[in-house]
Amino acid sequence: MQKPILLILRRLMPFLLGAAAALALPPSNLWWLLFLVLPSVLHFWSKQASKGLTKQFFFGWLFGLGYFLVALHWIGYAFFVDAEADLWMMPFAVGGLSAVLSIYWGLAFMMGSLLVKRGHPSWLALPLCLGIAEWLRGILFSGFPWAVWGQMVDGMGGVSQFASVVGMVGLTFCILLWAAAPLGIWRDQGPRRAVAIIVLASLPVIFAWGEWRLAQNPTQYVSDVMLRLVQPNINQSDKWRNGNARAIYDQLLQMTAAPSSTGKPITHIIWPESSVPFLIDESAPGRAELAAVLKPNQILLAGAVRRDSATPDAKYFTSILMFDHNSDVISHYDKFHLVPGGEFLPLEWALAPLGFRRLVSLPESFTPGDGPKTIAVPGAGWAGFSVCYEAIFPGAVAGTDRRPNWLVNVTNDGWFGTSTGPYQHLAMLRLRTIERGVPAARAANTGISAVIDPLGRMTFNSQLNTIGSFDLALPKEMGETVYVEIGSILFTILIGTLFLVGDYLKQY
């Protein structure tokens, strides 16, 4: 009879392995752990092969629960901003979200077990089903592709360049296959082992290609654009406190008006998300003060709350307002992919009576805009705009009608302190630049502000919880990537190929 402690550890093994897998994400980037974790998961999972689908589901769900609790623990930091009112909701938000997302993994293990029963190699079946589950997690019910396995390339050097071919979702399939292949090499024979060897051998080949691509394409810069990223570092608990608006605005104006640190004229200034705690476009005195500090031909891209007072219910948007040097709003972008629980409350009819509320305090939920969009920026071509959370979605950072020359992302990660959240958020924007072959500029309230070239290299990144206005050149874009041109076709081919190869190998 097994000792109770050993029995508990055995039951918790998938949970513990899932927690370990999450350490492959930024900023720890321990991607090599995957080559220990996934073969171990497959080993323990194979012992469940004769058991029912319910146990298969629970095994995968438990694996996912450990993963998501570690990967998404940073969400809990937001509930400490107003702890007296919000802290009680933290276990429901972090634990509940992790439990729901784990359902995708539970279903993937169920489907994988059915493929194994058909004769597919387990090391091939599970990556196929888990990769599909991660893809669906990013698109169903508004989607939440945070911490998908494709983001683990952040610490894998040249491998990240493969995003220009297959995108983040394609990289998820690749990483799952690479991590599972050693089990096939060790345990299988004949053609099954040969396929596993080929799969694993593709990893160093893609790494070498990516390093070559980086070496062949040094960063080049646009000659007549000089950016200023403004990072005011306003504590989230102070941002909306009565009486602080004047001091916050004075700080932003001062940082905007400061002399150029490079000696070159500043052409475009970017303020972070919700930079000012008032409706700046509706404030005549505020706009007059702004006009006094902006220089001729300067453009300000300001993250701000906007109200559409023309509608009967005065809808609110979280936006990027484009001001000319006279402080006239010449264009705007409204965030369309809102944060569940932050900017709107899902199932509000059921949760509000129980005391749940949005973390962002407004009389009503924000209204989604009609994005994504690519917008003309005077003096800097066309830019794909995104606010905060939208940068995690490959299709949400620019419109489809015109290719952008660069990406603009404004965010306020001050909710999450010095947790892993800001680092993972930045890593996802880096993937967006590689996927599209265009640079990005990111202004963050508390950091990490950054300029990223079209191969995902950061030409500058600030430190968290620091104040600064950073004057930086804008990198040039590259040509259209394979991912943008035929990425969806390659994705379909990849899924079909994995299934056909697994079906072929069942005879061996």
Helix segments in 348-420, DSSP class H: 348-351
- End-to-end, the C-alpha distance of the chain in Å comes to 37
The residue length of the chain stands at 508
> Helix, strand, or coil here: 28?
coil
211 is a catalytic site residue: no
Q: Which of 72, 73, 182 is nearest to 127 (CA)?
A: 182
- Catalytic: which of 134, 174, 239, 335? 335
Which residues are CB-contacts of 303 (< 8 A; sequence separation ≥ 6)? 271, 272, 273, 274, 275, 318, 319, 320, 387, 410, 411, 412, 443
Q: How many CB atoms lie within 10 A of CB 253?
A: 17
> Helix, strand, or coil here: 224?
strand
Q: In what order do the strands lie in the sheet with 406-411?
A: 374-376, 382-387, 406-411, 440-444, 450-452, 458-461
3-state secondary structure 297-355: CCEEEEEEEEEECCCCCCEEEEEEEEECCCCCEEEEEECCCCCECCCECCCHHHHHHHC
Q: Considering Cα of 473, then 234, then 462, then 383, what sign does the dihedral take?
A: negative
Task: Specify burial of residue 435 (Cβ count, 10 A radius: 0-12, 13-18, 19+).
Answer: buried
- Catalytic: which of 134, 239, 343, 388? 388
- Catalytic: which of 273, 343, 390, 477? 273
Q: Is the peptide bond before 439 cis (omega within 30 degrees of 0)?
A: no
Q: How many CB atoms lie within 10 A of CB 484?
A: 18
Q: Which of 452, 412, 79 is nearest to 233 (CA)?
A: 412
Of all helices (H) and strands (E), which one includes residue 33?
A: none
Please state, in angstroms and rounded to a whole number, the distance separating the CA atoms of residues 217 and 268: 26
> Helix, strand, or coil here: 40?
helix
Of all helices (H) and strands (E), which one includes residue 459?
A: strand 458-461
335 is a catalytic site residue: yes
**For residue 376, what is the DSSP state?**
E
Q: Which two tokens stand for residue 201?
A: 């051998």
117 is a catalytic site residue: no
Which residues are CB-contacts of 231 (< 8 A; sequence separation ≥ 6)? 272, 443, 444, 445, 446, 447, 449, 462, 466, 467, 468, 469, 470
Enumerate the active-site residues: 273, 335, 388
